[in-house]
Amino acid sequence: MSEGKKPGGAKKSSGRGQRDLRVRVKSAKGRKLSSTLWLERQLNDPYVVRAKREGYRGRAAYKILELDDKYRFLVPGARVVDLGCAPGGWCQIAVERVNALGEKSGKKIGRVLGVDLQEVDPIAGAEVHQLDFLADGADDQVKAWLGGRADVVMSDMAASASGHKGTDHLRIIALVEAAAQFAFDVLETGGTFVAKVLAGGAENEMQAMLKRNFRKVVNVKPPASRSDSSEKFVVAQGFRGRDGEAYEHDDEAED
């Protein structure tokens, strides 16, 4: 037997006790290197693997799950609006947490309403509509669908990438500000607003606006958010009401 070989011709173990199970993707003709690297990252992402195993529509589901584990806003009986809900992972988590299917005996039954510019495949326990939340009357339409105001408005939306970091940052801040204004129109007093933002230097005005209208505003990066991503999430709780800017500034803020 030659040195360094095991019976059957297998190479010696590296000493780590197990094989390197990382999936590597070979470059294919006509496919960009960036696409190959993205595919390799997806195949090796534990959250992607977990989402497939647990039936969620994407790894983003775990971001809202982790945020709710910490701040507890998706409670049984809550009425939730998910802006830009495609592909539906956040709605799936909300359905479970607010008991929209009535599967938790003795608990209040909540409502989950998802809206998106594009058509979204049906989500068990959620009501999904194709709607531009920026359109005139969208807030009234959502309240009509809900039969009242919402307890939670959440958004995982991101503006289309331009390839220019500064421009993309400004675009997503503008989108978050628009989502916040929508939330002011549909939230119940005491409600919660959750949205994705990008770390940068242009969100001070947006943060100040939220602090005027909510009693507690925190900025957090959940574990499911990739470490190499500049995204973070703002969680604003204790909505003061549509005229919140008239309140004294007594909010609790946290970076």
User: 246 or 161, which is more confident?
Assistant: 161
Q: CA 240, CA 250: separation in Å to the nearest integer?
A: 11
d(CA 246, CA 230): 33
Mean pLDDT, range 198-205, rounded to an integer: 72
Contact criterion met (CB below 8 Å) for 236 and 191: no
Mean pLDDT of the chain: 82
Residue 27 or residue 64, greater confidence: 64
Measured CA distances, 236 to 34, 66, 177, 178 (Å): 36, 15, 13, 15
Residue spans in the chain of domains classed CATH 3.40.50.150: 60-254
Cis peptide upstream of residue 87 (ω within 30 degrees of 0): yes
Told to judge if 108 belongs to the known catalytic residues of this protein, a careful annotator would answer no
The pair phi, psi for residue 109, each rounded to 5°, is: -100, 125
pLDDT at 43 over 70: no
How sure is the predictor about 72, in pLDDT bands with cuts at 50, 70 and 90? very high
Tell me what the mean pLDDT of segment 214-235 comes to.
91
Q: At what angle do helices 46-54 and 33-44 cross, to 10 degrees?
A: 60
pTM: 0.78
**Topology adopted by domain 60-254:** Rossmann fold (3.40.50)
Half-sphere exposure of 162 (CA within 13 A, CB side): 10
Which three-class secondary structure state does DSSP give residue 181?
A: helix
Q: Are 87 and 123 in contact (CB under 8 A)?
A: no
- Relative to beta strand 214-220, strand 231-239 is antiparallel
State the average pLDDT over residues 81-105: 97
Lowest mean pLDDT among 2-16, 28-42, 124-138, 195-209: 2-16
Provide the pLDDT for residue 229.
79
Give the least confident one: 34-43, 77-86, 119-128. Answer: 34-43
Tell me: pLDDT of 115 over 60.
yes
Positions at the binding site: 88, 90, 116, 132, 156
In the set 196, 211, 216, 232, the catalytic residue is: 196
Residue 3: pLDDT band with limits 50, 70, 90? very low
Binding-site positions for S-adenosyl-L-methionine: 88, 90, 116, 132, 156
What's the one-letter identity of residue 46?
Answer: P
